[in-house]
Amino acid sequence: MALVEKTFNDGIGTITLNDQKNLNALSTHLVDDIIAALKQLKTKETRVVIIRAPEGVKVWSAGHDVKELPTGMIDPLTYNDPLRRLVRELQFFPHPIIAMMEGSVWGGGCELVMSCDILIASDKSTFAITPAKLGVAYNLSGVLNFMQNISFPVMKEILFTAQPISAQRAVQIGMINHAVPVEQLEEVTLKMANVIKKNAPLSISVIKEEMRVLAKAFPLNPEDFEKIQGNRRVVYNSADFKEGVSAFFEKRTPVYKGE
Ligand code: YXS
């Protein structure tokens, strides 16, 4: 059974994340269904795609499915992991994607929406980026995605505290485009989609790809990359990472010892 609903109407595709019993946690199954829906919408007729959750959700996405996080000496966020595949699919998708959010967005769910092109949230939404809460060694391209729109000090506050921020704060720091009353959310999103769909799709598509390429256009020497990967291996092999995941499932506060 598909964990997403896909509709298409007059140039606008809509993908609704609908694994509500798992709070839309980004499991391999849910991610594969989102990617399948995106591939079906990769046509000349599509002008805009909206990614959303069902109306009235309290949790838009609980982030990476913690049940799928390996804690046994394996990098949890390598190139072919579900979240990494999904982020690339969104960034390479040839048409604008609008993330329409209500409720709370957690962890990898924030990287999902930040990999979309335009973000419109209800003014009661919250956003929390949580590797530090769980002891996760986030990966380089993920951190780069977080850095794109937000200044270093603000991004470090969000990452190091792992606390939710309000939609208003997210607009203020440039993380999302708009925060609107929930009753206006769908109307505002569709209005924007209908304006975009009347513009030149080839021009929009090449601008999106130019911005994707330019955002990643800076040298990283192999030795620095290998140093980071070595540092990350210490983190995902650490007792702290195991403690973070155990504490999550035991519903208790983790006790980190820095080892
Ligand atoms: O106790 P049961 O078996 O009913 O399961 C509970 C939760 O364990 C489960 N659940 C999750 N399972 C896997 N992965 C998740 N991300 C996840 N989140 C929740 O769902 C059942 C109901 O959860 P419960 O009782 O807490 O519901 P609630 O309505 O009281 O609270 C909803 C949330 C979302 C506020 C709460 O579930 C929560 O704080 N979830 C964790 C959000 C989070 O920290 N996500 C980050 C996941 S790790 C990730 O995305 C990246 C790897 S990173 O951390 O690096 O960014």
What confidence tens digit (pLDDT) does each residue in 229-251 have?
999 999 999 999 999 999 999 99
Query: Does pLDDT of 165 surpass 90?
Result: yes
User: Is residue 236 flagged as an active site residue?
Assistant: no
Residue whose entry in the numeric block shows the structure tokens 């020497």: 221
User: Of 63, 64, 178, 244, which one is the catalytic site residue?
Assistant: 64
Which amino acid, one-letter code, is at 199?
N
pLDDT at 149 (0 to 100):
83
pLDDT digit string (tens) for 72-114? Answer: 789 999 999 999 999 999 999 999 999 999 999 999 999 999 9
pLDDT at 86 (0 to 100):
98
Q: How far is the CA of 16 from the centre of ligand 1 (A)?
A: 19
The helix (run of H) or strand (run of E) holding residue 13 is strand 12-17
For residue 14, what are the CA distances in angstroms to 8, 78, 189, 217, 258? Answer: 6, 28, 11, 31, 44
Does 4-182 carry CATH code 3.90.226.10?
yes
pLDDT digit string (tens) for 54-68? Answer: 999 999 999 999 999
Task: State the average pLDDT over residues 141-170.
Answer: 96
Query: Does pLDDT of 171 surpass 90?
Result: yes
With the most atoms of ligand 1 within 8 angstroms of its CB, the residue from 105, 106, 140, 243 to mutate is: 106
The helix (run of H) or strand (run of E) holding residue 98 is strand 97-101
DSSP letter assigned to residue 49: E
Which ligand 1 atom lies nearest to the CA of residue 64? Answer: 50
pLDDT at 151 (0 to 100):
96
How far apart CA 55 and CA 152 sit, in angstroms, is 34
User: Of 109, 138, 142, 236, which one is the catalytic site residue?
Assistant: 138
For ligand 1, atom 53, the nearest C-alpha belongs to 131
Q: How far is the CA of 64 from the centre of ligand 1 (A)?
A: 9
Q: To the nearest whole number, what is the mean pLDDT of the chain?
A: 96
Q: How far is the CA of 94 from the centre of ligand 1 (A)?
A: 32
- Among candidate residues 207, 194, 9, 176, the one with its CA nearest the CA of residue 100: 176
Least confident of 69-73, 105-109, 122-126: 69-73
pLDDT at 210 (0 to 100):
97
Residue 189: alpha-carbon gap to chain centroid: 18
User: Is residue 256 flagged as an active site residue?
Assistant: no
Q: How confident is the model at residue 135 (pLDDT cuts 50, 70, 90)?
A: very high
Residue whose entry in the numeric block shows the structure tokens 């470090």: 156
Angle at 112 between CA 46 and CA 245, to 5 degrees: 150
User: Is residue 64 flagged as an active site residue?
Assistant: yes
